[in-house]
Structures are given as C-alpha cells and as structure tokens.
Amino acid sequence: MYQVFIYLTKKSMIKVAVLDDYQDAFLQIVNVDKYKDKFNFKIFNKPFLDEKEAAIELEGFEALFIMRERTPMTKSLIENLPKLKYIMTSGMRNKAIDLETAKKKNIIVCGTEINPNPAAEITWALILGLYRNMKQEIDNMFQGYWQTTIGFELKGKMLGLIGLGKIGTQVAKVGKAFGMEVCAWSENLNLNHANEIGVLPMSKEDLLKSSDIISIHLVLGDRYKHLITMKEIEMMKKTSFLINTSRGSIIKEDDLVQALKDEKISGAGLDVFEKEPLPQDHKLRFLPNALILPHIGYVTAENYSKFYQQMIESLESCSSNEPVRIISN
C-alpha cells in the first residue's frame, strides 16, 4: 500500500507524510535526495480505510502533505496526532481541515497556489462528451461499430452557470466563443462582472427552467449543500444536461441517480462525488447517461508540480519560523 523513503534519522529531520498520492507523482516531481538532511518522507498512495487507520498510520509524523479534501483533517484525527506541527495542503482553501482545532493545537496550516483553468477545461470535456455522445461512440468504436449516435450542436443553446467566480467566468467565455447564450446565478452574483462578460443574471429557478446545460461552479459551504435535489432537477428541461466539477455534496446524489434512471434529464457529467473515491459498486458507474470522471479537474502535471514544490517551500519556511501562505480561516 505504501512507498517508503527512509534516511538515517537525525534529530533535526522532520518526519513528513505525503497523503493520497494516487498517481505516485511526488517522486516524479520532487528530488527527495535534495532534502535528505531535512525531511524524512513517507508516501501513502492509497486512501485510508477509515479515520482510525489514518490515526494509527500517521502517529509520529510532524508534517502532513495533503491533497485537496482526500483525507479529512477532522477534530478527532488532529487530536490523535500529538506530534503534528504542520499541515501543507494543495490550494488556499480546504474545507476538510478543522482549522479551529489546528489553531488550538498550535499547528501551522499552509496552502499553495492552484491553476483554475484545468477545472474549466474538464468542464468542457464533460459538456462536449455528453453533447456528442463520446462515451458511447468510443465504446462502440472498440467493438467495431461506426457512427451509432447523433449528437447536438452548442451554438444557440443556453448555458446556465451556478456560480460565476474564476472558474465559472472561464467556462462562460468558452461558451460565448461557441456561440451560446450564457446566464448565471449565485447568492452573491456580481452583477457588474456578469454584465462585463456578457452573462445574463437570472434567478435560480429561471436558470434551471431555461438552460440546456447547467454547470456548477460554487465553493462548498453549508448554504450550498444539496442545493440541487429532485425538486430542482424536475424544474430542468428533459433535454438538459447537468455538470458538476465543483463539489459532490452540492448535488443530492441519490436524487440525481434516480432522476437519471427515470430520464428526467438527458444526462449528467460529474467529476466530483459525495463520497470519494467513488465506491466500485456505486450506481452512477452503471448508468449510460452518466459521464463520470475520478475527480481529475485539478489533476495536471502543472498543478501537481506547483503543489508539491510549494508544500516543500512552505515547510522549509515553517521550520525557519517564517511560514508563508498561512491558512487561518
């Protein structure tokens, strides 16, 4: 399950656990020999079974490198890691870290920069994949068939964006380039910004009813959990598609599964799920009108290089009592 790099331990060396390195990327990006006198790395390339296993495996580590929300840093887990001093996370926002408990335990939490464009790119991969039936056509090509479906054009269609921040804005600009009409809603939508980029502000209900494609680009918080339930799905056109590359819990997953089974909408493109990794027997894996990806929106060589290099930079700064990119709330 694990890859281990151990060097002769010195008192000054910091024990570092690199969590959830599914692609074994850390060793491809980081020259660990360069840091052999500073850090003692252990790489965990599979998720823990539960929090109990995480507490056992991580006991004794002073620093954790964590990838997004893959392993939640809960109050109970943090309290069970008495030697923990530093948490380095990818990105500058991680809702899976209990920052209040970290602060009480005098644990420094630092983040990294993150490129927003990969999430916008994967959004369009899902949209195009659904609109041109790529899942079916690729499968059929490998079985020897030729031209088995008829797709749709994007020009003239209505793209509804739930959220118009950095990623939503990039998605909007691509939609406009395709000749689509673009509308948007969020609780704190910036009307001036929407006007500047040619996006029509709408109420949530009107957006759901009028959009051909609905794409979610929100930061997960209590107010947005299960924002999309069966009630909202039933407002949507039967011919519409729902895209989520934001956070899985924004959609009530059981309702979406049932809606796809009942063909209340034409399909869904998902890169995020309520439980990750998605269980092997999850119903979404077996629905023909669901195009699903394993949360790879941010998984690019460019982002990973930035994540790991800046995590090391942050840890070095912390060990010198000059921490950078601190996350405090």
Catalytic residues: 247, 276, 295
Q: In DSSP terms, which residues pair with 184 in a beta bridge? A: 161, 201
d(CA 101, CA 301): 32
Rounded CA separation 316/12 (Å): 12
Closest CA to 287 of 271, 269, 302: 269
| Gap between the Cα atoms of 304 and 129, Å rounded | 25
Cis peptide before 277 (omega within 30 of 0): yes
The C-alpha angle 96, 99, 100, rounded to 5 degrees, equals 130
Distances (CA, A) of 82 to 60, 62, 78: 7, 9, 8
